[in-house]
Amino acid sequence: MRTKRQSSETIPTNQNPVEKSSAPLYRQLAETLQLHMESGKIAPNEPLPAERDLAISFKVSRDTVRKAIRLLEERGVLYSDHGRGTFAAPAAVRQMSRFLDSFSEDTLKRGGTPGQKILSMENVAANMAIASLLHVEAHVPLMRIRRLRLMDDAVVGLQDSYLHLPQGARLERKELERAGSLYRLLIDKFSIEPSESLESVGAIAASADDALLLGVGPGTPLLVCERVMLSDRREPIEYCEMKYVPSYRYKTRINKWSNG
């Protein structure tokens, strides 16, 4: 009999070791592990089996196990400590995404129903400030989209996007209404893959216009978030300013000391 640390249970190895789709092994393994932990089999801060044991159970190399663990660590599902072991993360951590989701995703994750009301879509000439952010010449045509964002039919935010689309690209109001998500549309229609965004968050008083649209009093404190979105080629694609009513909050999880 092995004299090693007992982890709560062995994880069922699914007969055929891992496979189900053609996704990389380590992703399939991560999926399996995550499901196993979400089903509550391993209590928060309780250890998983050791990496070497997982490798044997699932008939993969230890390196593949480690890749799966790194992925779940990013998702906040578990964490590893040198010399101690790998542990299930507390629920509070697991529930919080490390990445700011799109409005739609974020709302869904909160258990709400996302919605939008398109206020306007028009072609405008870039002013100097926005041209500089998007790395284009001033007066280049941009598509400006103004939207109200709804959560469970209540107005929570106001988005003002400036898109730098490829030459001749056209975007219809109907398409956006149908897609629901602007980024979904960029991917599907133009093969533009958002990869990274630079954000700046602050507080601002609602202008008369803002107040009217958001249904709050003028001067109400709003959460304002500016974003420059980059494509996979790191070209600036979109500048967006978002204003949210005080009841709306950004939530995020941060690894404090990940940097070397």
Partner DNA sequence: TAGTGGTCTAGACCACCCC
Partner DNA sequence: GGGTGGTCTAGACCACTAG
Which residues of this chain interact with a second copy, rule CB under 8 A? 27, 30, 44-45, 71, 74-76, 79, 81, 87, 89-90, 92-93, 96-97, 99-100, 183, 193-205, 219-224, 228-230, 232-234, 244, 246, 248-260
β-pairing verdict for 236-244 and 221-231: antiparallel
Q: Which of 219, 211, 168, 158 is nearest to 189 (CA)?
A: 168
Distance (Å, whole) CA 18 – CA 60: 9
Region 6-35 residues binding DNA, contact defined as CB under 7 A? 22, 24-27
x/- map, 42-81, DNA, by CB under 7 A: ------x-xxxx-----xxxxxx-xx------------xx
**Helical packing angle, 25-38 and 62-74, nearest 10°:** 60
Assign 114 to helix, strand or coil: strand
* Contact by Cβ (8 Å): 55, 62: yes
Query: What does 104 interact with, of a second copy, DNA, none (CB < 5 to 8 A by kind)?
Result: none
How many Cβ atoms from other residues are within 10 Å of residue 33's Cβ? Answer: 24
Region 81-120 residues binding DNA, contact defined as CB under 7 A? 81-86
By CB under 7 A, residue 4 contacts DNA: yes
Query: What does 219 interact with, of a second copy, DNA, none (CB < 5 to 8 A by kind)?
Result: a second copy
Shortest distance (Å) from residue 148 CB to a second copy: 18
